[in-house]
Structure 1
């Protein structure tokens, strides 16, 4: 007859529960797994399967009773770490969405928006198109597997039950959010610059020849030139996204190491 002691049962529970908290928080925040179209049962089930698979190779767990305030603190700590990793991935995907917003505003497509259930806000059509392309490129380049590998390896560099996390890492994470505007504008700059020149030319034409209806000329011109330049931009989008994914993964690895450095 197989007998299971209370100490063994607690060891099994903590080996599953604490990594499960970090992985679940990450999947709830990450764009691919955290999308509203993915059922919550699938998210929780996938996090549970990953937790069971990696449990035998994890470092030793802290000796804290599972039903204690120390265990609650560890769970909260793991949730914060998982949310931080997921926030990095969300920033990466927000770059292309911001770029689509910049391009759409300059092309005069601000009215072409629809409700996005994932974010709960209205987004432009170009932002949605770029987001879906980025999502497909991320999967095609095995980015989801590399992110999961980085998340699993984080248990070695950032083991469960550390005394405290480095608070400076969260400040750097907040500053990294500026990538949304910097990289987003960098991607949209060729189209925004070209369309700005067209708008300036139309403004000069309106002042020199007021009898012309600039609105009837400006919108078709901006839309035609914008769509043409957008097709040209698509030929270089793959290289841009590859660099963006690489920078995001490098930042995530650096964030893990920084969180592990206690002042």
Structure 2
């Protein structure tokens, strides 16, 4: 059995370009793109998804192997995959921002832990909210929706199409501004409550100067933060779910 050069190039294109888009999306996507997830696992998952998705795609026009057009299309697929993962990762960054604002208001900025998802040090409140958002993401089937959107992206933005342009990047940037405003709204109720606690402690310190504010104020602020976080957690999870819905809508918007 003999194969022509055109057939070999067509087979390579059929799998190489989808693999580039899928692997770049998994590289930066939430949960799957975590530093704690082995690169081998991500690569095997990308290969498995490529083997499932690529045969169902229409054959792309043959392009000279490793030519300028071939590299341009490859870079387009990498950019599309990175933008898909980055759009969803913004939701987790907004949640982390809310946790850092709450930690700063509760005087817990110095208490940091290594974040296994982002590979950096995060305040304990931010770590707690990030883990909660991760569990909610998995409980809602976000990892399955991500795979579904990766497969759907090849019909909405086919291989060898125009790829990512100014309009798509601008849409993601506008969404990032709205999302971080949503992260501030997530932390705002606790920030207002903690500000009230701090104002009350300030009034007490002025009325009783002999009172050691550091010995009394810090434990009260910490206890108040934990109690308020416990009471507000159901509403915060609902708000995080709304942020996830916004992320899927933004992803659908710029892909279409």
Q: Normalising by structure 1, report the TM-score.
A: 0.92
After TM superposition, the structure 1 = structure 2 runs for residues 12-23 of structure 1, keeping only pairs within 5 Å, are 12-23=11-22
Q: What is the aligned partner in structure 2 of residue 187 from structure 1? A: 186
Distance 2:160 2:47 in 1: 20
Q: C-alpha distance in 2, partners of 1:16/1:240?
A: 39
SS at match of 2:114: strand
Question: Is 1:129–2:128 an aligned residue pair?
Answer: yes
Ranges in structure 1 where 5+ consecutive residues have no aligned partner? 258-263
Query: SS of the counterpart of 2:62?
Result: coil
Matched, 1:57 2:52: no
Contact 1:28-1:43 within 8 A present in 2 as well: yes
Unaligned regions of 5+ residues in structure 2, if any? none
Spell out the pairing of 1:15-34 with structure 2 (5 A cutoff): 15-34=14-33
Moved more, 47-56 or 116-125: 116-125
Task: Tell me how far apart the structure 1 counterparts of residues 53 and 230 of structure 2 sit (CA, whole Å).
Answer: 44
How far 1:67 moved relative to its partner?
2.3
Q: Is the 8 A contact 2:96 2:129 kept in 1?
A: yes
Question: How far apart, CA to CA, are the structure 1 residues paired with 2:83 and 2:133?
Answer: 21
Matched residue SS, 1:123:
strand
Count residues in correspondence.
Answer: 256
Residue aligning to 1:103: 102
Match of 1:260 in 2: none
Deviations 1:205-228 (A, max 9, x none): 222322222222211111111101
Stretches of 4+ moved more than 6 A in 1? none
Q: Does 1:46 align with 2:45?
A: yes
Could you report, residue by residue, the CA deviation over 1:165-212 in whole angstroms, capped at 9, with x for unpaired residues? 431221221222224431111111111101101111222222232222
- Residue of structure 1 in register with 2:166 after alignment: 167
Q: Secondary structure at the match of 1:65?
A: coil
Deviation at 1:250, TM superposition (A): 0.8
Relative to structure 2, which stretch is displaced further, 106-115 or 246-255?
106-115
SS at match of 1:79: helix
Distance in 1 between residues matched to 2:60 and 2:191, nearest whole Å: 53
- Structure 2 residue 87 is matched with structure 1 residue 88: yes
Aligned to 2:36: 37
Task: Give CA-to-partner distance per residue, 1:19-63, whole Å, 9 cap, x none.
Answer: 111111101111211111111111111111111111121133132
